């Protein structure tokens, strides 16, 4: 029947058959190409574990437990801590460093995997710093003099609310903010400083779940008003257990 058709009709018929055949071949190739997508998606959501393909675990912030620590603060006028330490030492040996230091226990309580509460009791001294500087240039001699001849002591009690992000077991980043109340310790008596408190904010780094380093800023408040020229920076380090 095909042989009976004119040459022109045969040509059109052959072209039609070629087009249909080409379209069928292309249609067969489309599923083979699309089959690669699920494979790539599987690779992205899996990893090799013990030589086998396993689903990737969803990241979870490393959970911490309640920690007790011993903490030291160095309080300064600017965030350039190294320069401040050098200047204090050159001016008075260890006297200004002792005068600007607070020391005491701390307690951190985690609230889930991200948030935490932390409170501290930080002690400092009032003393005759000039006499201490003139007597000796050794740290323990100056510290002993300041402690023995102190005119008073004080205690700072901050309460921080913090956020902690631990991408690995060995370190964690954190930020915190909260109020601080002050107490005067004179002749065995403890008196609360009425109407005055401080607002504290800072950030830090935990290492190996043992060491902690923080840099922050503290400003004194008189009820709802900022006390002029009361702001200062601090560098803190602590051992946590």
Does residue 76 contact residue 96 with C-beta atoms inside 8 Å? no
Do residues 106 and 119 lie in contact, with contact meaning Cβ atoms separated by under 8 Å? yes
The residue ranges of DSSP E strands in 112-195, in sequence order, are 115-120, 122-127, 150-165, 171-186, 189-192
Q: What is the mean pLDDT of residues 52-75?
A: 83
Q: Which residues have CB under 8 Å from 203's CB, separation 6+? A: 173, 174, 175, 176, 214, 215, 216
Kindly tell me the number of DSSP H helices and DSSP E strands found in the chain: 6, 13
Give the pLDDT score at 2.
Answer: 46
pTM for this entry: 0.73
Distance of CA 66 to the CA centre of its chain: 17
- Kindly provide the residue ranges of all beta strands, DSSP E only, lying in 4-99, ordered along the sequence: 46-49, 52-55, 67-76
Tokens 């402690």 label which residue?
147
**End-to-end alpha carbon distance in the chain:** 97
What DSSP designation does 56 have? P
Task: Say what the pLDDT of residue 154 is.
Answer: 93
Comparing C-alpha atoms, which of 50, 101, 29, 75 is closest to residue 200? Answer: 75
Interval 211-241: pLDDT, tens: 999 999 999 999 899 999 999 999 999 999 9
Q: Per residue in 138-148, pLDDT tens?
A: 888 888 888 88
Name the more confident of 48 and 103: 103
């Amino acid at each position: 029947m095909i042989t009976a058709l004119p040459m022109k009709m045969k040509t059109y018929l052959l072209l039609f058959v070629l087009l249909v055949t080409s379209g069928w071949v292309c249609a067969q190739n489309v599923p083979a190409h699309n089959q690669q997508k699920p494979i790539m998606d599987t690779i992205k959501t899996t990893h090799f574990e013990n030589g086998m393909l396993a689903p990737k675990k969803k990241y979870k912030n490393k959970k911490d437990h309640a920690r007790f620590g011993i903490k030291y603060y160095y309080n300064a006028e600017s965030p350039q801590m190294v320069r401040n330490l050098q200047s204090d030492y050159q001016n008075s040996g260890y006297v200004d460093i002792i005068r600007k230091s607070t020391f005491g226990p701390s307690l951190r309580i985690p609230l889930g995997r991200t948030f935490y509460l932390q409170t501290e009791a930080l002690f400092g001294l009032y003393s005759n710093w000039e006499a201490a500087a003139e007597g000796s240039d050794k740290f323990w001699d100056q510290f002993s003099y300041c402690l023995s001849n102190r005119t008073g002591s004080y205690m700072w009690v901050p309460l921080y609310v913090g956020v902690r992000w631990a991408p690995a077991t060995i370190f964690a980043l954190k930020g915190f903010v909260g109020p601080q109340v002050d107490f005067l310790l004179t002749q065995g008596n403890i008196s609360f400083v009425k109407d005055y408190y401080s607002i504290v904010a800072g950030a830090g780094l935990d290492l190996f779940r043992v060491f902690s380093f923080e840099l922050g800023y503290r400003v004194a408040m008189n009820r709802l008003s900022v006390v002029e020229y009361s702001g200062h920076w601090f560098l803190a380090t602590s051992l946590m257990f």
